[in-house]
Amino acid sequence: MSGLHRRLTDEDSKVSLEVNPIYVGQVPPGEIPRYRIPDGPLPADTAAAIIRDQLMFDGNARLNMATFCTTWMEPQARALFSDCLDRNIVDRDQYPQTAELENRCVNILDNLWNGPGGRGLGCSTGGSSEAALLGALALKFQWRNRRRAAGLPTDRPNLVMGTNVHTTWHKFCRYWDVELREVPINPKTLAIDPPGVVAQCDENTIGAIAVLGSTQLGMYDPVAEISAALDRFQANTGIDVPMHVDAAVGGLIAPFTEPDRVWDFRLDRVQSINTSGHKFGLVYPGVGWIVWSHPERVPEDLIFQTNLLGGEMKSFTLNFSRSGAPVIAQYYNFLRLGFDGYRAVQRACLDVAQGLAERITTNPFLEVLSGGTDVPVVTVRVPPDFTDFTAAQVADRLRLHGWQIPAYYLPKAMDDVCVLRFVVRNGFTQETTEMLVNDLRDATAFLERGAAARHTHTLAEINF
Ligand SMILES: Cc1ncc(COP(=O)(O)O)c(C=O)c1O
């Protein structure tokens, strides 16, 4: 199970590290245990070399189209990042300038998201997951405070979201005991519909989540339309349902590529927005951001005051210590690229994604579902009437060429559809598209030949 590691039995953990004999003379005699701390030290260069040898088996990040996360930064950014790794973001007394750069980033984001001037409040986080959890906690506490003040019960909160949300929202509901109310995605628009959101809301709804760039399909939920539907719902019922926009993917794309799209703090109902600095913010992991449009949207009882590190500090976070390097690298990107630079980078990704989608339409064994119109994500499926091979088999064949492409089933309402997803990130060019399209064509042709042969021959006769 990824991320949760089991302690091996004493017998199984007796394995030693395999050390290249070329390091002769650099390692002490005897074995170096793999799962126990070694008895003594190793020279620094040898320890680093042994680890590098093992890391070689990790995938090539530039061929990884599965991840949304940044896998390349300019050498200057990388150098700055490594110079700043030792700064602890929570230690504002020791690193006031790091705190100031975080402050500038929050201001830049609030401005990009059209916050009502001088009112926004926000912070960096470890990623969008932490940011989303903070946003949801603020919704829950506000709702509870309102209900308590009115003498109403507070034991059955619910949160409304599409089936297209990221797992982090399911986590919130389970960990914080909130009922999860799901709105199925519309197979035509590949996003949720406003009436579906309204249908799930009642007086116990702490908020509604809209996604700006879904993880599964890369499509934007119609934020402004959902907000308008909730305005009408409020006019009819008196129930005010605030919105949070999970812009993990699109929060640093839409402001540059579609500045006229209204999805942000221009809508008063949108009270908070999160994004991942380490996705289209173009920073190495891990940094996320959350901004609330008004300070009163973060209930006071969520904010902690500590003086453990010297001066008095206020914070609203789930973890405490974290490196300031990604925050500094985020500020570097804002300063380095400016509005025009970000627009050029994101526009190029969209162009490549749309070009990729167009090229894939010439492959008769694949059908494009989402083609990089919103964020640079392309999803394709094997046509439903075609049963000779599956999307997962295509992904397997692409692995042979080094491509890491996930194949997965879509959420409810489309859960019989298995897709391949290609995330186009900075650095992915028309030339790489060409390579990918050729490899895709070879993969599907190979699988088709195998299927055709199976139809007419026994397996033993098939000669690939
Ligand atoms: C829409 C959405 N929300 C939240 C997350 C979680 O983001 P992070 O990996 O920054 O914690 C993701 C990750 O892909 C996402 O796509």
Average pLDDT, the chain: 94
- Does 222 share its domain with 310? yes
What percent of the chain lies above the pLDDT cut of 90?
Answer: 83
Asked if the structure places residue 4 within a domain, the reply is no
The per-residue pLDDT for 130 is 98
Centre of ligand 1 to C-alpha 165, Å, is: 9
Centre of ligand 1 to C-alpha 193, Å, is: 21
Centre of ligand 1 to C-alpha 401, Å, is: 27
Centre of ligand 1 to C-alpha 131, Å, is: 10
d(CA 71, CA 325): 15
d(CA 457, CA 464): 12
Asked if the structure places residue 392 within a domain, the reply is yes
Mutating to test ligand 1, I would choose from 64, 128, 221 the residue with most ligand atoms within 8 A of its C-beta, which is 128
Centre of ligand 1 to C-alpha 129, Å, is: 6
- Does 229 share its domain with 173? yes
Question: What ligand 1 atom has the least distance to the C-alpha of 247?
Answer: 1
Which residues have any ligand 1 atom within 6 Å of their CB?
68, 127-129, 132, 166, 168, 211, 215, 246, 248-249, 276, 288
H or E element, residue 237:
helix 223-237
Three-class HEC string of 40-61: CCCCHHHHHHHHHHHHCCCCCH
- Does 83 share its domain with 202? yes
Question: What ligand 1 atom has the least distance to the C-alpha of 212?
Answer: 1
Three-class HEC string of 189-232: CCECCHHHHHHHCCCCEEEEEEEECCCCCCCECCHHHHHHHHHH
Mutating to test ligand 1, I would choose from 163, 168, 370 the residue with most ligand atoms within 8 A of its C-beta, which is 168
The per-residue pLDDT for 464 is 44
- Does 87 share its domain with 216? yes
Local confidence band at 268 (pLDDT 50, 70, 90 cut-offs)? very high
Q: Which amino acid is at 169?
A: W
Mean pLDDT confidence for 245-267:
98
pLDDT at 78 over 70: yes
Local confidence band at 459 (pLDDT 50, 70, 90 cut-offs)? low
Residues in the chain: 464
d(CA 116, CA 110): 8
Asked if the structure places residue 243 within a domain, the reply is yes
List the CATH number of the domain containing 374: 3.90.1150.160
Token pair of 386 as six digits: 């075609």
Rounded to 5°, the CA angle 45-46-50 comes to 120
- Does 49 share its domain with 84? no
Q: Domain span at residue 52?
A: 12-58
Local confidence band at 303 (pLDDT 50, 70, 90 cut-offs)? very high
Asked if the structure places residue 7 within a domain, the reply is no
- The residue assigned the tokens 């990089």 is 372
> How many domains would you assign to the chain?
3
Catalogue the E-assigned strands of 324-453.
367-371, 377-381, 407-409, 418-423
Asked if the structure places residue 339 within a domain, the reply is no
- Does 219 share its domain with 122? yes
Q: What is the pTM of this model?
A: 0.94
Mean pLDDT confidence for 264-279:
98
**What is the residue-wise DSSP string for 79-91?**
HHHHHTTT-BTT-
- Does 304 share its domain with 365? no
Last residue of a domain, one of 307, 333, 359: 333
Mean pLDDT confidence for 159-174:
98
- Does 144 share its domain with 32? no
Asked if the structure places residue 70 within a domain, the reply is no
Asked if the structure places residue 410 within a domain, the reply is yes
* Protein residue whose Cα sits closest to atom 16 of ligand 1: 215
